[in-house]
Amino acid sequence: MSERALYLQAAESLRRNPGQWAAYDSHGHCVVLAGPGSGKTKTLTVKLARLLAEDVQEPRGVACITYNNECARELESRLAALGIEPGGRVFIGTVHSFSLTQIVLPYAKVAGLGLPDEFSVATQSERARALERAYRSVIDGPDNPQTWDFRMGNYRRAILNRNSPQWRERDPVLAALVEAFEDELRAMGRIDFDDMPLLALRALRANEWLQRALLAKYPVLVVDEYQDLGRALHRMVLGLCFSAGMRLFAVGDPDQSIYGFNGARPDLLQQLSRRDDVETVHLRLNYRCGSRIVTGSRYALGEDRDYEAAEGANEGTIHFHPRTGNRDQQADDLFSSLLPDIRERLPDLRLSDIAILYPSAPIGDAVASAAQNYGLQTIRTDKNSLYPRSSRLMRWLEQCAEWCCGGWRTGTPRFRTLMNDGQRIFSESLTAEGDVLLFQRRLLKTLWERRDSTVLLHWWLNEMRREAIAELIEGCRTLQDEGETLGAFIDRAAPDGDCAEMTLGQFAGRSEGKNCISLSTLHSAKGREFVVVIMFGMNDGTIPWHNQSNQRLVEWRRLFYVGFTRAKQELHMMYAANMPSPFVKEVEERLNADG
């Protein structure tokens, strides 16, 4: 079936939903306000396919900016199912990746950004050294310099115009620290992730020809999860779309904005949706959650919304589990009592259909320990996971491991997928004629000779690095930090490390969480869905923290709401009986009042 036939067939299923069809059929600037489970990713990918087939003439293309690598990977997978491979006419990536690869790397010199020749992206250890030197020169106090990193980052993202009086007047010490830190990075020949959108915005503001160059390449800009992307992206959108002439298609939900600590501004999406030159579409139907969960989600948010469960949705259930004892005892009770009850009630339930969500990673430690005591495999997506789940390199290695553990026989994943993903990850190193073919040959040889799920992971990772990817990592300015992540994990898998007994098969099982219960913070669960969700540690003082401002309380509410709306069929709240979260109490009281 042709690409055109595939997307047209997919589009037919959107006709039954007026909001989805209106978004698909939009012609000018369009903002889609999409509630949880409303099919926004499907709508977005089918719209992308239509744009490429009908609205954008080759060789021009479409740029799609996402919040994180997980979102980008999901969109790439959905587009591939419609016969569209990323690359060429389609850019899909984070705002940092867009800024770096489409603006900073190709145009740094001619745009007058003043960056060192052959600059690269700083690793975490290099950033730490630069901050320590900057702190000593500007403040030289008794603090650990790294405790200033968070405040410094907020200041960099909050005031985008360094020439404005506000930059120096709001906090002169922070302004001086930021400038010293960036000077230290430049002296090392480095930029960092916060630099990327800031430098890109600076280049666009100062060079109208650069705006025209981007317009020539990408007449359409698509933005997913707009509410999470902050001021720099918003300023880019205003300039590129409402001055330079790009067409905008943006999707988001202010109610799911939970990254205020990283500069997310849900009000920017709301401002955009109210513009007279923007068509605003609402997606109301929830295809994910059972009807009772949809009802309860209104109480979880603390504001009424007109969302409703899609026709034919299951009823869904919400259960409340007050518990005595400390956190470890409650985690033990989860696996000794609650989970067996759920699995008896839902005998076809797979472990990968279950998620346990909690407010912070230390709470997850208790859950992970209890799961291990009961012999249950888990996969963590919080900061205490074995390695960052956002790492493109590590996720690709998981897929390679899965291929070695039987995927070569079943076609899951396909070797072509591994090659394509690898080419995108190592694109900076694969520039000369024949580089791609050599990479493909090395990768196939390395994987084919190591198809054994029982080998120790330490050996396999070392072989992969040495035979297939070490030179490629070295040649990629954007992969140095991920190379350090890989090296640190190889050390953990060494004979004297805490993962010494991990086999290739166990590593491969992490690739899609096969036969594993997902353990995640509420923040990291965003965008995901599960048949059963257990929200653990829903205590007063934990969610929300005590003594919060009104603005922070609203964001705590949204975080609770995000966790609440991950569940398809069953939602379970676990909390200390003597101090339930006020959010939990309100949901239970209002559901009881409904009967």
- How does DSSP assign 481-518, residue by residue? HHHHHHHHHHHHTSTTSTTTT-BHHHHHTTTTTTT-EE
Binding site annotation covers 93? no
Other Cβ atoms less than 10 A from the Cβ of 501: the count is 12
Beta bridge partners of 580: 539
Sort 130 into a burial class: Cβ within 10 Å, 0-12 / 13-18 / 19+: buried
- How does DSSP assign 72-125, residue by residue? HHHHHHHHHHTT--SBTTEEEEEHHHHIIIIIIHHHTTTTT--PPTT-EEPPHH
**H or E element that contains 356:** strand 354-358
Binding site annotation covers 383? no
Under DSSP, the state recorded for 59 is T
Beta bridge partners of 358: 521
Closest CA to 264 of 290, 226, 307: 226
Tokens of 12: 């037919």
Q: Are 265 and 2 a contacting pair, CB within 8 Å?
A: no
Binding site annotation covers 364? no
* AA letter at 185: L
Binding site annotation covers 41? yes
d(CA 520, CA 515): 16
Binding site annotation covers 35? yes
Tokens of 289: 């959650």
d(CA 124, CA 48): 35
Closest CA to 579 of 538, 536, 547: 538
Binding site annotation covers 296? no
Binding residues: 34-41
Residue ranges of the annotated binding site for ATP are: 34-41
